Structure 1
Amino acid sequence: MTAQRMAADTTASPPTPDGVPLFGNGLAFARNPVDAMERWATLGDIVRLDIPGQEMYLVTGPALIEQILVDDHESFTISPAQRETFSGVEDHAVTTTTGERWERLRRALHPAFTRDAMGRYADRTVETTAACIEAWDDGEQIDLYEEMRRLTVTVLADALLDVDIRGREAVVMAAADALVDRANFRRPGQLLPDWVPTPTDRRFERTVTELDAFVDDIITERRGTDRGKDLCSVLLDAHDAGDLSLAEVRENVVAMLLAGHDSPSVALTHVWRVLDEHPDHRAMLTEEAQTVVGNEQPASELLPGLEHTRHVVAETLRLYPPTLGVMRQATEPVTLGGYDLPAGAQFLLPQWPVHRDDRFWDDPTTFDPTRWERATNRPEYAYFPFSGGPRNCVGMHFAKQELALVVATILATVELAVSVDGPLTFTPSLQLRPEPAIEAIVTRR
């Protein structure tokens, strides 16, 4: 990102990119959101987008991102777009609620993510990953992204919910697909009024109904067993104590199954792809994995020895963040970057252009895991793959741990030769899923 940015002028509104009649900047965003955000970010740290019917701003300055997510977070709430996207599936979940309910849910979830809990999850993560990849045959060609999805939803259910869903993953994956399709900026139904039913809407309702029934069965099963300290047990204990309704228990389990497998599976797919492009780092990670994973330590003690693996994961999340960005709405008039903006204004905080901004990153488009070994004075919010502030991703530490342990466990056992069918492009939705087919040949060690 080399174009010089415009300084804020308190007497004017933020710069606005050129658009097209009727659609403004919406058409470019729908065609290629990654390319559009990179171009628009060169205009300034805050840019006004011409989106019909919305007061929308793109924010790519780390100081402004920190102001929205941390310093002045009480002046912002989750955006209407986020609530609409998850309407009917996560209405009572920590991901979409605000105020007292959000605070109550966040407190209820906390015991599921303590240091002790993370240690237990580590053991289950390694065990489940090893069991899942045992099904891969030597020489088999796999759909890499679909296998990573199946793996992450199985790991999450086993570790966080203490439930084995192998053979039943399709229910969760179908609902996640319908959710992403519903939020796809390119689908024709986006231009229709909410009351007009579309095939995408009907598919969404059907898969969510199936997922709700699936999760109800899980909850019924867990209510009749001894409780542990996993997330499902923690939520059920909170329900028994009168702190959560059964709907809140169900929808937070649903939220964890959907978001908790989708983003990690995208990240893992990119890890294997970039390692295939950088055999030197793949060799280093393989040696590290075989040394650390093979020494019979408890899984909870493996992470310190997986230093390069953790750096590869961090660098992959920098270059290829799984989500489009964080969205917020101002609840009162705010001043950002010298601009006075109204209550109701919406803000998109995208990781992609910020993570690749040459003001904060040397050779920003180069895959260089060693950059995480060096001290730096870059702003904290030049990197925020898990959002930030009080509403950061509740499963952030679990996800970081999971990604490193899954990569190491797989590398200790198999080698994956990756192929991508065409240029790397992304679904224009809440998840930046890779669009081309990504496959891998499995070679067992």
Structure 2
Amino acid sequence: MPENARSFCHGMFETPVEHLVLTHELKGAFLNKNMDPVYMENIRIMVGSFIQYMDRAEAQEHTVKCATEETHSCALEWTTRSDVELFTEVSELTHNVTVKTLMGDDFYESGSELLSLMHAMEHDIDNFWSLVLPDWVPHPSARRLHRARERVKEIFWERLSQRHVAAKNGDVKSDLPDYITYMLHDRSTAPLKHCFAAHHALLMFASDTSTAAVTSWVVVCLLRHPDVMAAVKRDARSGASDSVLLQACIKETMRYYNAMKYFRPASVEPKGSMSSVSLFLKHDDTANYPNSDTWMPGRWLNAENKLVDLAGREEESKPMILGGGNYLCPGEKMATIIVTQTLTTLLRYYDIIWATLEQPRTVRFDDLDFDKIGSPWLKGGLKVKVSRRVWPELMGGC
């Protein structure tokens, strides 16, 4: 595996109490530069509430519904274009699912602006001067960060105020399935409305920096392995709601392109930083994963074509994918649902192909873009064509 692909598979941070997993940059740069101190004081409560929310069957069903609807909405628009940039479009799709699921339809109306603000904040967080200068220094990137952060707060206060008025007038349901409704009725989070904007900004960042990348990389891997693509399509189009092969492809893609970015320059961790553990030593360990530099989804299936029971492995050999054991990612359930449902919907109802016949030979799939916080994208992006599936039963004589 090329060195730049290798460095993709390093670095995870955890806190044993809440089992919170964040990349070095996302935790360090984003939390230190973008989260206000009051939110940081209450982050355990907020993260705990998110885990509890996603543990509920109603929340999981709501996520499935939102992911399916938004995938159709985006994919139908893609079919009207000659080609689309995969990573960019999947990022927008994933962001929209996150906003609709967690914040509701009223916040969804501000989804495009929120995505623009997230990208602007991400760009300025990664600025060298943002990392080295204290917050009070009036550097342009710091000023832009402050303005973007304040605008996110304004959007949240506007929407929350509108909900409050609507609730008093009896114009809004009290049992809406979104996460904000849950937080407004939960005793631990209801008094912390002033932390909602920072909390949801963190969740939107996590979605854009990991969930979107995983979904995109699975599509890339399937395009590069047409035999596997054909098999996964057959599963999806047979009506199977949970394709074992698709799950194996997702697991293998996350192993091969682990959705954590290593903070490569040497540094000294500030007081209070989370401890790090290198995942690359495990994910690139040929003892645990033979031919670890090769994308092989079959490694996750046994002779009965069932997913390998990872719980049966020795603890030190378990893969840490979206967290595991003491390294659980709080967004694991939501991310898994979004990735699986998005891919299932795309594979069942649409066809995705290369934009040009030369791409398999000319695209450098090991050339990763580390400019983004969190999981890298493919440098230069990847154009694909999306079309609606041709249903055999609608073709005469079939």
Question: Which category describes the TM-score, using the shorter chain as reference length?
Answer: 0.7 to 0.9
Over aligned residues, Cα RMSD in angstroms? 3.9
Distance in 2 separating the partners of 1:347 and 1:83: 12
Distance in 1 separating the partners of 2:281 and 2:252: 14
- Aligned counterpart in structure 1 of residue 223 of structure 2, from 256, 265, 276: 276
Alignment of 1:16-95 (within 5 A): 35=6, 82-87=27-32, 89-91=34-36
Distance in 2 separating the partners of 1:390 and 1:407: 28
2:388 is the alignment partner of 1:444? yes
Structure 1 pair 191–398 and aligned structure 2 pair: CA distance change class (3 A): closer
2:359 is the alignment partner of 1:416? no
Deviation (angstroms), 1:252: 1.9
SS in 1 for 2:191: coil
Deviation (angstroms), 1:272: 1.1
SS in 1 for 2:286: coil
Return the letter of the residue paired with 1:271: V
Deviation (angstroms), 1:35: 4.8
Deviation (angstroms), 1:404: 0.7
Structure 1 pair 289–365 and aligned structure 2 pair: CA distance change class (3 A): same
- Aligned counterpart in structure 1 of residue 339 of structure 2, from 403, 419, 433: 403
- Aligned counterpart in structure 2 of residue 366 of structure 1, from 291, 294, 311: 294
Distance in 2 separating the partners of 1:414 and 1:373: 26
Contact (CA 8 Å) 1:73, 1:389: kept in 2 or not? Answer: no
Distance in 2 separating the partners of 1:310 and 1:158: 24
Provide the aligned length of Structure 1 versus Structure 2. 359
After superposition, what is the alpha-carbon deviation per residue over 1:10-31, rounded to whole angstroms, capped at 9, x for unaligned? Answer: xxxxxxxxxxxxxxxxxxxxxx
After superposition, what is the alpha-carbon deviation per residue over 1:144-165, rounded to whole angstroms, capped at 9, x for unaligned? Answer: 1111011011111222222266
Alignment of 1:19-418 (within 5 A): 35=6, 82-87=27-32, 89-91=34-36, 97=40, 101-113=42-54, 114-137=56-79, 140-163=82-105, 168-184=110-126, 187=128, 190-192=131-133, 195-223=136-164, 224=166, 225-227=172-174, 228-238=176-186, 243-292=190-239, 302=241, 305-324=242-261, 347-374=275-302, 375=308, 377=313, 379=315, 382-388=318-324, 392-418=328-354
Distance in 1 separating the partners of 2:46 and 2:326: 13
Tell which has more relative contact order, 1 or 2 (C-alpha 8 A, sep 6+).
Answer: 2
Structure 1 pair 385–200 and aligned structure 2 pair: CA distance change class (3 A): farther
SS in 1 for 2:383: strand
Deviation (angstroms), 1:345: 8.1
Contact (CA 8 Å) 2:129, 2:139: kept in 1 or not? Answer: no
Deviation (angstroms), 1:401: 1.3
Contact (CA 8 Å) 2:353, 2:385: kept in 1 or not? Answer: yes
Contact (CA 8 Å) 2:30, 2:125: kept in 1 or not? Answer: yes
Structure 1 unaligned residues grouped into runs of 5+: 2-31, 42-57, 60-64, 294-301, 328-341
Structure 1 pair 237–325 and aligned structure 2 pair: CA distance change class (3 A): farther
Return the letter of the residue paired with 1:444: R
Return the letter of the residue paired with 1:159: T
Contact (CA 8 Å) 1:276, 1:417: kept in 2 or not? Answer: yes
Distance in 2 separating the partners of 1:440 and 1:422: 15
Distance in 1 separating the partners of 2:140 and 2:81: 39
Structure 1 pair 187–417 and aligned structure 2 pair: CA distance change class (3 A): farther
SS in 2 for 1:134: helix
Distance in 2 separating the partners of 1:287 and 1:265: 24
Deviation (angstroms), 1:443: 2.7
Structure 1 pair 97–220 and aligned structure 2 pair: CA distance change class (3 A): same
Q: Of Structure 1 and Structure 2, which has the larger fraction of its residues in helix?
A: 2
Return the letter of the residue paired with 2:66: R
Distance in 2 separating the partners of 1:77 and 1:285: 31
Distance in 1 separating the partners of 2:272 and 2:80: 56
Structure 1 pair 252–414 and aligned structure 2 pair: CA distance change class (3 A): same
SS in 2 for 1:431: coil
Structure 1 pair 159–427 and aligned structure 2 pair: CA distance change class (3 A): same
Return the letter of the residue paired with 2:84: I
SS in 1 for 2:352: strand
Per the normalisation by structure 2, the TM-score is 0.75
Distance in 1 separating the partners of 2:250 and 2:47: 27
Structure 2 unaligned residues grouped into runs of 5+: 167-171, 265-269, 303-307, 390-398
Deviation (angstroms), 1:421: 5.0
SS in 2 for 1:135: helix
Distance in 1 separating the partners of 2:73 and 2:8: 40
Distance in 2 separating the partners of 1:402 and 1:153: 10
After superposition, what is the alpha-carbon deviation per residue over 1:380-414, rounded to whole angstroms, capped at 9, x for unaligned? Answer: 56522323556732221111011111001011122
After superposition, what is the alpha-carbon deviation per residue over 1:272-304, rounded to whole angstroms, capped at 9, x for unaligned? Answer: 1111101111111111111126xxxxxxxx2xx
Structure 1 pair 235–37 and aligned structure 2 pair: CA distance change class (3 A): closer
For 1:24, the equivalent position in structure 2 comes to: none
Contact (CA 8 Å) 1:215, 1:253: kept in 2 or not? Answer: no
Structure 1 pair 393–91 and aligned structure 2 pair: CA distance change class (3 A): farther
Structure 1 pair 143–216 and aligned structure 2 pair: CA distance change class (3 A): farther
Contact (CA 8 Å) 2:156, 2:196: kept in 1 or not? Answer: no
Contact (CA 8 Å) 1:92, 1:247: kept in 2 or not? Answer: no
